[in-house]
């Protein structure tokens, strides 16, 4: 491959001056085009050795990219969270370097950093094998040991076309760049990539990494385009962090809800209804227990309604979904018009607006919280379907709050406490993200100004820390997202509080104020579980199938050691059921009791009540707890029932002792 143009020359003396503000408030004035590494060197050589990249007004750029504007200037070291993405992006280039050394026929696509690592796409004649991955990883270690500098160069379009003449995927990307856009390449050794950066200084920074697996991918995510081979990998600055991540990944495999769903007999999927779960009797108990928990918590402050599943496009046009969400909706062909002018509902929001608008409301009713748990349908791509986490049919613990503008702060505080209390019941912790207006949105800038200011003020009034996610709001309003961390440290985006000034305008929603004149309410969209299906997938993996007693589909397995003890077994089962516990007992079971114990262990039943002659004579049970098979306690039947009833009533995460 031919070499790109030489690196950008040093900034000329007559270049415009840029003012950089350092974290301590001091300023540095430099010429436009100055390299960040020169600025960092001026601060201190020790800092330069530790520097991974810099930020200008929060935007990350590497040390080799000329400065083109002033602003807040901060040096990133490996201690800064933003630095990890720089390392991983560089790791993707090291991966591509290794692949091209061993497979020069591989055409290169994209290689971005992602939340949990990085990947690179390649166009090759045959899929990569596990042996290929092992060879690529070994070659990556050689590339890293060579400490090849990531040499940045700014090139003309013609020069870039020559450099990437044998890589049509890169040429396609090059053609999409604007006429005024800076075209840059990065070279490490013989490998050159079309890339904006940022990158670490040299390949030697990549010490602790691992190639994970390969997967098929389509170029630009389009199933009509080339089929590529994607190699996933991860990298960290510290070995301990990599080891923890790899352990977490292995643990996640053991907890895979798709595998446990079969093992624990909870749900099935069939190709005749893709993306829709078939819940078994055990799984249905689990599902309904979660729904009942949600209903119980909402009973006093929320009003549940049921609404239709099918609506005309008029509703979706009024809400704005028809233009922005139509491709994700299941459309219904009208036999008379021959047009797809109806659809299954993919969300509950517009149906709640219709319901609210059907009657008059007073300020005394507000905030009015409407909830619906109806079935929803979204037309997800078949390749995106994944167990319970990505489905086409699901239900949400959906709520829309209609309130006066002056009630926003109090309502946000109430909903925050409500949502966090829900997660705490399952031993889940959450962090908050505040998301602002996206580029594609509906509603005027004035409405968005009011919505963002109101929601931010309400969030800050709680005193809870949050992270800003600029441009990540819903198309109709800003939002607070809840990122929930499970027992092995993975983060899931679940609950949300979204403030909407647009829908009340579009649907002409009103309430009568204390002044006896009409006023426009605002709407808050609230979800806690997100969808019951996805939340249950998370719980299955969070608990590794070892559900707390109150949630377990089968709470106690009653197991007599011989058939003649069936009468006492029935008595024990009846006592447990009378206390509201889910106990299993089959008086006609002829299996050896050891088989029944093994079955209960596989199904992760929290308790086994093993009964022999001594237990029958004394009115006791011998208790075996899940995961503590070698420990057996003998208790009076009444005490055993009372203990379990209290554990279930309090929704304890674990037994008291």
Residues annotated as catalytic are: 349, 378, 396, 398, 400, 479, 525
Phi, psi (degrees; rounded to nearest 5) at 595:
-65, -40
Phi, psi (degrees; rounded to nearest 5) at 508:
50, 50
Q: How many CB atoms lie within 10 A of CB 39?
A: 21
Tokens of 247: 């352990």
Please state, in angstroms and as integers, the Cα–Cα distance from residue 33 to each residue in 54, 70, 158, 508, following that order.
Answer: 15, 11, 23, 54
**Cis upstream peptide for 98 (omega within 30°):** no
Q: How many CB atoms lie within 10 A of CB 424?
A: 12
Q: How many CB atoms lie within 10 A of CB 561?
A: 18
Ranges of H-type helices in 117-209? 130-145, 157-163, 168-176
Taking a C-beta distance cutoff of 8 angstroms, is the pair 350, 319 a contact?
Answer: yes
Tokens of 20: 């950089």
Taking a C-beta distance cutoff of 8 angstroms, is the pair 495, 445 a contact?
Answer: no
Taking a C-beta distance cutoff of 8 angstroms, is the pair 161, 148 a contact?
Answer: no
Phi, psi (degrees; rounded to nearest 5) at 413:
-60, -45
Tokens of 206: 């990549």
Taking a C-beta distance cutoff of 8 angstroms, is the pair 290, 551 a contact?
Answer: yes
Please state, in angstroms and as integers, the Cα–Cα distance from residue 377 to each residue in 275, 333, 395, following that order.
Answer: 10, 16, 9
DSSP E strands in 245-391: the ranges are: 267-268, 278-279, 303-304, 310-312, 331-333, 340-344, 368-372, 375-377
Please state, in angstroms and as integers, the Cα–Cα distance from residue 514 to each residue in 13, 137, 202, following that order.
Answer: 68, 70, 68
CA-nearest of 491, 498, 529 to 434 is 498
Please state, in angstroms and as integers, the Cα–Cα distance from residue 170 to each residue in 51, 77, 94, 165, 372, following that order.
Answer: 30, 31, 17, 9, 48
Report residue 369 CA to chain centroid gap.
26
Taking a C-beta distance cutoff of 8 angstroms, is the pair 555, 583 a contact?
Answer: yes
Beta bridge partners of 636: 620
CA-nearest of 366, 355, 353 to 305 is 355
CA-to-CA distance for 10 and 7, rounded, in angstroms?
9
Tokens of 296: 């119980």
């Amino acid at each position: 491959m031919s070499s790109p143009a030489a690196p950008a020359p040093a900034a000329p003396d007559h270049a415009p001056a840029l003012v950089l503000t350092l974290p301590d408030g001091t300023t540095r004035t430099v010429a436009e085009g100055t390299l960040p590494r020169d600025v960092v060197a001026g601060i201190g050589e020790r800092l330069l050795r530790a520097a991974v990249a810099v930020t200008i007004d929060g935007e990350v750029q590497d040390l080799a990219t000329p400065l083109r504007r002033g602003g807040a200037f901060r040096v990133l070291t490996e201690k800064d969270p933003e630095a990890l993405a720089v390392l991983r992006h560089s790791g993707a280039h090291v991966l591509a370097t290794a692949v091209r050394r061993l497979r020069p026929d591989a055409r290169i696509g994209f290689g971005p950093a992602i939340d949990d690592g990085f990947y690179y796409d390649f166009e090759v004649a045959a899929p990569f094998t596990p042996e290929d991955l092992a060879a690529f990883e070994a070659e990556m270690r050689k590339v890293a040991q060579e400490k090849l500098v990531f040499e940045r160069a700014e090139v003309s379009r013609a020069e870039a076309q020559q450099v990437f003449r044998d890589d049509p995927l890169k040429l396609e990307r090059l053609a999409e760049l604007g006429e005024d856009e800076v075209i840059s390449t990065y070279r490490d050794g013989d490998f050159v990539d079309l890339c904006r950066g940022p990158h670490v200084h040299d390949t030697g920074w990549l010490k602790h990494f691992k190639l994970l697996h390969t997967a098929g991918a389509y170029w630009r995510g389009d199933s009509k385009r080339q089929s590529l081979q994607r190699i996933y990998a991860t990298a960290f600055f510290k070995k301990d962090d990599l080891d923890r991540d790899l352990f977490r990944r292995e643990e996640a495999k053991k907890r895979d809800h798709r595998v446990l769903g079969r093992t624990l007999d909870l749900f099935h999927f069939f190709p005749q209804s893709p993306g829709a779960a078939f819940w078994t009797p055990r799984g249905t108990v689990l599902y309904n227990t979660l729904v009942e928990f949600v209903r119980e918590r909402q009973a006093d402050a929320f009003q549940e309604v049921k609404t239709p599943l099918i609506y005309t496009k008029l509703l979706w046009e009024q809400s704005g979904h028809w233009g922005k969400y139509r491709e994700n909706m299941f459309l219904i062909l009208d036999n008379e018009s021959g047009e797809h002018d109806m659809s299954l509902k993919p969300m509950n929001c517009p149906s709640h607006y219709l319901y609210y608008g059907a009657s008059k409301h007073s300020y005394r009713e507000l905030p009015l919280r409407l909830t619906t748990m109806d079935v929803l349908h979204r037309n997800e791509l078949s390749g995106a379907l994944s167990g319970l986490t990505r489905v086409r049919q699901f239900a949400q613990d959906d709520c829309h709050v209609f309130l006066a503008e002056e009630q926003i702060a109090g309502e946000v505080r109430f909903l925050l406490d409500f949502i966090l209390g829900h997660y705490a019941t399952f031993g889940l912790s959450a962090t908050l993200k505040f998301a602002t207006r996206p580029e594609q949105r509906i509603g005027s800038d004035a409405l968005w100004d009011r919505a963002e200011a109101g929601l931010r003020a309400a969030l800050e009034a709680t005193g809870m820390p949050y992270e800003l996610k600029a441009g990540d709001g819903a198309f109709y309003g800003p939002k607070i997202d809840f990122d929930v961390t499970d027992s092995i440290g993975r983060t899931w985006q679940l609950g949300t509080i979204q403030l909407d000034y647009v829908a009340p305008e579009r649907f002409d929603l009103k309430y009568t104020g204390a002044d006896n004149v009409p006023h426009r309410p605002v709407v808050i969209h609230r979800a806690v579980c997100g969808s019951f299906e996805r939340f249950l997938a998370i719980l299955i993996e969070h608990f590794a199938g070892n559900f707390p007693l109150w949630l377990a589909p089968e709470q106690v397995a009653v197991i007599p050691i011989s058939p003649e003890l069936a009468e006492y077994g029935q008595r024990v089962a009846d006592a447990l059921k009378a206390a509201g516990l889910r106990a299993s007992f089959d008086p006609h079971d002829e299996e050896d009791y050891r088989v029944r114990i093994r079955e209960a262990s596989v199904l992760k039943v929290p308790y086994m009540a093993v009964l022999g002659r001594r237990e029958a004579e004394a009115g006791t049970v011998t208790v075996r707890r899940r995961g503590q098979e070698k420990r057996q306690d003998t208790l009076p039947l009444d005490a055993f029932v009372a203990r379990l009833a209290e554990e279930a009533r309090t929704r304890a995460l674990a037994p008291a002792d």
